[in-house]
Chains A and B, each alone.
Chain A
C-alpha cells in the first residue's frame, strides 16, 4: 500500500493555498498508510539562503548551541527555528557541508532536507496529525510532495517516513519495494552519497540526487533509473523547480494524474484529486509504465 500525493502549481493562481490543498490531498490517502507520513513543500524561500530541516526523534539537542556550532563550521551566520521535534536552520553558508557536519557530529538528529526552497516534515502516526502539527495548511509555495506510509520494508520511525531527500532541493516519495537497494546503496556511497536509514526508498532518492549532481537532467536521471532500479515503484519527485513521475515496467502500484492550465496533481488514487479547484475541467490519465514524466517551472 502507501499513498502518494504531489501537487505542482504551474501558475501563481493557487500558490497561496499550496499547503491547504496538499493537506486535503493527504487526508484522502491516509487510509493507504497510517504508520507515518511526511510532506515536502517547495518555493517559499529565497535563493541566497539555504534551509536545513532536521528531526530529533529522541532527545532534543539545544538548538541554539547547535546553530552556534554550525556557524563556526560554515563561517556564516545560522538562524534556527524550532517546530516541535523539527528545527529549520537558515544560513548563507554551504548547505551540503552543513548536512554532512550535522550527520557526522549530531547523533540525535536526522537531516531531512537542505536547499533554498525545500522544507520537509515527517512523523509517525495519523497523517492528518502531521498536517496540523507542522502547520501545513498555512504554507505557501509552488509545489509539494507527500506520502502516507504503510511500512513493509524497514522500521516504523519518523526518519523512515517519506519523502526522502539526500541532495539539495530534491526529494522523492515511493510506493513499492526495491530489491537491489543494498547493492545500490554501496555503489552510491562509493560515489560520495550518504544515507541515514536502511530504507530502500532513501536509496532511490540518493540515486536521483547522484545523477542530478553528475549533470543529468531530471528526465535523464529517471530514464537511467529504469535500468538501475530493480523492483516495484511508483515514484514522485520534487526538485527546486521541477516535478516528475516514474513507474516501473510492471506498474502494479497505482498512479493517476490530473492536469489543468494551473496545476498538475498526482496521487495513488483519484479521490485525492477529486476536490481540487477546477478538477472538472482537468485532463485525467494514468502514467504509462516505464515512461518518464517531468514538468518544470523554468519552461
Chain B
C-alpha cells in the first residue's frame, strides 16, 4: 500500500520532509510538473514512484531505496548518488548521474549531454542513446549504453569502464576501445539484469582510458611495469 503525495496540494519541501521522515514504505508522487529536487536525499529503503516528468536534480544524493520517474527527467538526475537505485522511464536531460559514487541509475530512453560526467563508482544503464561528452572525466563505475554515443565519449577518462552497443560518434581525448574480456561480458550481463533490460553482452564494445593524460599513483606502479604506459587493464 503506497501513500500518495500530490504536489498540486503540498509543497516540494513538505514532500521531501515526508520522505526523509519515513523509514520504509511506498510513496506515489503526483503532479510533479517539472518540479526541481523531487525525492532528493533519501536515506532509507523507500520505494518512490513519480507520476510524470521532473525538473532538475531529481533523486540527487540518493542513498537508499528506489526512485522511479514515470516520465522524463531534467538536468542532473541522481546527481551524486551514493547507493540505491534511480530509474526514469523516459529520457534524461544533461548530466545524468553526474559525480555518482555508487548505486544504479537506469534511463529507459535517451540521456542528454555529459551523461555520467565525473562519475566516481555509479553504474549507469541507458536503454537508448547518450549525447555528447558522455563520461567526461569519469573516474570509476560502469556506463552501459544500448544505443549510440555522441561525440567525445570518455574525454579525459580515468578508470571508469564504458560499454556501448551502437555507434560511437567519436572518442574523446585519452579514451580508447579495449578488448571485451570474459569479466567484461559478465559485468555487462549483470548490469543489464539489474536494469531489467534485454540485450546480448557480446554485442557491446568496451572503451576506457589510455592513461596518457594523468599520472599514476605509486600504488599502480605494478600495472605500469607489467603492461607499460597505456596498459590494457
User: Interface residues, chain A, CB within 8 Å of chain B?
Assistant: 28, 251, 254, 256, 269-275, 284-286, 288-289
Q: Which residue of B53, B72, B93 is within 8 Å of A254 (Cβ)?
A: B93
Interface: B75 (CB within 8 A)? yes
Residues of B39-70 whose CB lies within 8 A of A: 52-53, 55-56
Q: Which of B33, B72, B91, B94 has the most CB of A within 10 A?
A: B33
Contact A269 B33 (CB under 8 A): no
Interface: B87 (CB within 8 A)? no
Contact A286 B91 (CB under 8 A): yes
Q: Which residue of A254, A271, A288 is within 8 Å of B33 (Cβ)?
A: A271
Contact A274 B53 (CB under 8 A): yes
Nearest Cβ in chain A — how far from B137, in angstroms?
15
Interchain CA distance A273-B33 in the complex, whole Å: 8
Contact B91 A271 (CB under 8 A): no
Contact A285 B35 (CB under 8 A): no
Contact A289 B132 (CB under 8 A): yes
Interchain CA distance A289-B131 in the complex, whole Å: 9
**Which secondary structure dominates chain A's binding surface?**
loop
Contact A270 B74 (CB under 8 A): yes
Known pairs A270-B55, A286-B91, A289-B132; A251 contacts B113 (CB<8 A)? yes
Interface: B34 (CB within 8 A)? yes
Interchain CA distance A275-B7 in the complex, whole Å: 13
Could you pull out 27 A-B pairs where Cβ atoms are within 8 angstroms? A251-B94, A251-B132, A254-B93, A254-B94, A256-B74, A256-B93, A269-B34, A269-B56, A269-B74, A270-B34, A270-B55, A270-B72, A271-B34, A271-B35, A271-B36, A272-B34, A273-B34, A274-B33, A274-B53, A275-B33, A284-B90, A284-B91, A286-B91, A286-B93, A286-B94, A289-B113, A289-B131
Contact A274 B34 (CB under 8 A): yes
Q: How many inter-chain residue pairs (CB < 8 Å) link A and B?
A: 44
Nearest Cβ in chain A — how far from B56, in angstroms?
8
Interchain CA distance A59-B74 in the complex, whole Å: 44
Residues of A contacting B53 in the complex (Cβ-Cβ under 8 angstroms): 270, 274, 284
Interface: B112 (CB within 8 A)? yes
Q: Which of B35, B52, B53, B91 has the most CB of A within 10 A?
A: B53
Interchain CA distance A5-B19 in the complex, whole Å: 32
Interchain CA distance A30-B146 in the complex, whole Å: 38
Contact B55 A271 (CB under 8 A): yes
Interchain CA distance A275-B32 in the complex, whole Å: 11
Residues of A contacting B56 in the complex (Cβ-Cβ under 8 angstroms): 269
Residues of B contacting A273 in the complex (Cβ-Cβ under 8 angstroms): 34
Contact A284 B75 (CB under 8 A): no
Contact A284 B72 (CB under 8 A): yes
Residues of B contacting A272 in the complex (Cβ-Cβ under 8 angstroms): 34
Residues of A contacting B72 in the complex (Cβ-Cβ under 8 angstroms): 270, 284
Interchain CA distance A289-B113 in the complex, whole Å: 9
Nearest Cβ in chain A — how far from B88, in angstroms?
12
Nearest Cβ in chain A — how far from B25, in angstroms?
27
Nearest Cβ in chain A — how far from B179, in angstroms?
32
Query: Chain A residue with minimal CB distance to B31?
Result: A274
Nearest Cβ in chain A — how far from B15, in angstroms?
15
